[in-house]
Structure 1
Amino acid sequence: MLALHPDHVYVHADLTSAGLSQGSITQLVRSGGILRARRDTYLHPASSVAGVTAARSGGRVACTSLLAEYGVFVLEKRTVHVQVPSHATRLRPPTGVRLHWAPLHRAPSPRSLRVEIFDALLQSVICQSPRAAVATLDSALHLGVIDEDGLDELFRLVPRRRRALRALVDGQCESGPETFVRLLLRALGLRFQCQVWIDGVGRVDFVVEGWLVIECDSRAHHGGWEAQVADRRRDLALAALGYASIRPIAADIFADTPALGRVIIGMLQRLGPRTDSSPARPAPRARLRSARA
């Protein structure tokens, strides 16, 4: 019996060469032991939704859909991105599917349901907004999915209008919302530090102008009452050390970043400047970065 892999696609000949008769194949499809995606295309029943969609479209999981499967941050996950052969330009995608025809730079395994991650990252830079693209690359670099040399190669291949984004990628931020805030602070011309350790508090996402702490909250990491209690106690500990803190939620950061900028500027104008005598220092295993526009 052929041992199917959830990330691979199979044809009828693969199954028969493994000793399955047509009757056995039919029975396995009916019982759910094999998934028939389209004519002469079979999958493991545990293949991802994006993988099944790609197989039914005659292609491979690509771009942000593939990156999301690796845990890399992408801003929008509802659309399934599928790489199809360059000659399939007349193919019309179903609702919720975006097709990619451009030739790949890394050849995936013939059976693979996925493009290589380098091509997915390259596609994501072209396919997303500039800020979202930087957040995706920050995430990929932070997770070790790509290294600096790989980024340099990637940016030699992107359209010229996107090459300036290379200077904005540094891999310090651990989440998409953090990257959006980092880019905002940079655009505002403010002094800030990323991933800072404060004695008695722990690591915080940002310290702006020496005294304003910004923590980027999301449901994934700040849900539940116990997490809420811990956050409130951190805020009190920060206040005792002379810091002010704000906690914008991810949805608001993405939906209206300029509004967050107005909040930050308003606080700095009303409550600052202050003398920076804080015990803040770079968080362990994290680099310190100050930036101005």
Structure 2
Amino acid sequence: MSTPTTPPVFFRRPDLRARGWTDRDLGAAVADGRLLRPRPGAYLTADASTDVIDALALGGRLTCVSALAHRGVFALDTSVLHVHLHTRRTSARTTARVVRRHWGTLRRVPHPRAASVEPLDALACALRCQPPRSALASLDSALHGGHLRMDELDELFRLLPRRHRVLRRLIDARAESGPETLVRLLLRSLGAAFDVQVFIAGVGRVDFLVEGWLIVECDSREFHSDWDAQRRDRRRDQAAAALGYTTFRPIAEDIIWHPDVVRSALRGLLDSRRGPAARPRRPAV
């Protein structure tokens, strides 16, 4: 399990003055770029992300998929900036970015200097804003990464409409990435028998072992882009082939944006063993 990342924070003028900064120091630091001041009285370090800068400038905090992505939780589309505001009336500046504003009472009160809402509130928002498959991937990712505990699920689902309850029985915190969750749903829709995170002697741990013979590995640029990683993967595939396994490596880009293509490939592989008359036994999720 990965270690939860540190949430983004900002500094208020009294905080910095208590640390010995004078108004002249603050002005000089902003002028030379050592500090950023997205709104009066709020300061950020120079390495702050654009999302955090814009959320503070708009008078709010990161929420929904924007808050999840900042913590390393899977979110399908982060092109829109999601900001939680305290009030519908604000004198904060506007931005050229596409912004979705959220209001309402938070379940968890953020730290006064937090630039993001707490994970429980971010998830409750993101599950509403995303399609069901992506919402489930965010849930798996948050649980696997330690941003949400299993004993918080009751509280989370009480914050959601009843239609979201179907997602709960599909949760699997063993998924190590969003694409793994999406592939799991594709396999379910094909009626395939499979297990996840399976250790095979001589090969190592694989993402999926399907019907006892098909290995499915979800490849992403983050872990499979350099030649050393590709060489290691090909040798693993070679070792698996020697044991009678077939390996399929769909890339994350296709899993996320072209799921029908990946599903067709999986169906073709499975039908090669099942026979041409094979049909999916479960409906698509």
Alignment TM class, shorter chain as reference: 0.7 to 0.9
Distance across 1 between alignment mates of 2:219 and 2:15: 48
The residue aligned with 1:193 is 195
User: How many pairs were matched up?
Assistant: 271
Q: Which residue in 2 is equivalent to 1:229?
A: 231
| 2:40 counterpart letter in structure 1 | R
Structure 2 distance, partners of 1:218, 1:31, is 38
Equivalent in the alignment of 1:173: 175
In structure 1, C-alpha distance between the alignment counterparts of 2:112 and 2:88, rounded to whole Å: 17
CA RMSD across the alignment:
2.4
Aligned to 2:132: 130
Secondary structure of the 1:154 match is: helix
- Tell me, yes or no, if the aligned pair for 2:174 and 2:196 is still in contact at 8 Å: yes
Which deviates further from its counterpart, 62-71 or 132-141?
62-71
1:219 to 212, 218, 221: 221
Contact 2:10-2:115 within 8 A present in 1 as well = yes
Residue 77 of structure 2 corresponds to: 76
Structure 1 residue 57: Cα displacement: 0.5
User: 1:35 maps to which residue?
Assistant: 36
Shift of 1:262: 1.7
The aligned residue for residue 266 of structure 2 is 264
Aligned residue for 2:253? 251
Query: In structure 2, how many angstroms separate the alpha carbons of the residues matched to 1:15 and 1:144?
Result: 31
Is the contact between residue 9 and residue 55 of structure 1 (CA under 8 Å) also seen in structure 2?
A: no
* Mapping of residues 83-122 of structure 1, within 5 Å: 83-88=84-89, 94-122=96-124
Mapped contact 1:60–1:115 kept (Cα < 8 A): yes
CA distance in 2, matches of 1:103, 1:6: 20
1:170, distance to aligned residue in structure 2 (A): 1.6
Q: Distance in 1 between matches of 2:75 and 2:244?
A: 35
- Cα pair 1:84 1:99 within 8 Å, conserved: yes
Change beyond 3 A, Cα 1:272–1:89: farther
Q: Distance in 1 between matches of 2:8 and 2:174?
A: 33
Counterpart secondary structure, 1:259? helix
* Deviation for aligned residue 1:6: 6.2
In 1: Cα distance, 2:242 partner to 2:88 partner: 64
In the TM superposition, 1:6-45 aligns within 5 A as 7-11=9-13, 13-14=14-15, 20-45=21-46
Q: Which residue in the other structure is 1:63 paired with? A: 64
| Distance of 1:258 and 1:89 partners within structure 2 | 44
Q: 1:278 — aligned with what? A: none
Return the alpha-carbon distance in structure 1 between the equivalents of residues 264 and 26 of structure 2: 62
Going from structure 1 to structure 2, the CA distance change for 1:10 and 1:270 (only over 3 Å counts) comes to same
Letter in 2 for 1:172: R
* Counterpart code for 2:237: D
Distance 1:84 1:263, change over 3 A: same
Q: Secondary structure at the match of 1:95?
A: coil
Residues of 1 paired with 2:91 and 2:171: CA distance? Answer: 36
Q: Which amino acid aligns with 2:185?
A: L
With over 3 angstroms needed to count, the CA separation of the structure-2 counterparts of 1:227 and 1:42, relative to structure 1, is closer
Q: Which residue pairs with 1:288 in the alignment?
A: none
CA contact (8 A) 1:216 1:247 kept: yes
Return the TM-score normalized by structure 1.
Answer: 0.84
AA partner of residue 157 (structure 1)? L
- Identical pairs, percent: 48
Partner of 2:54: 53
**In structure 1, how many angstroms separate the alpha carbons of the residues matched to 2:241 and 2:258?**
27
Structure 2 CA distance for aligned equivalents of residues 149 and 112 of structure 1: 24
Contact 2:59 2:90 in 1 (8 A): no
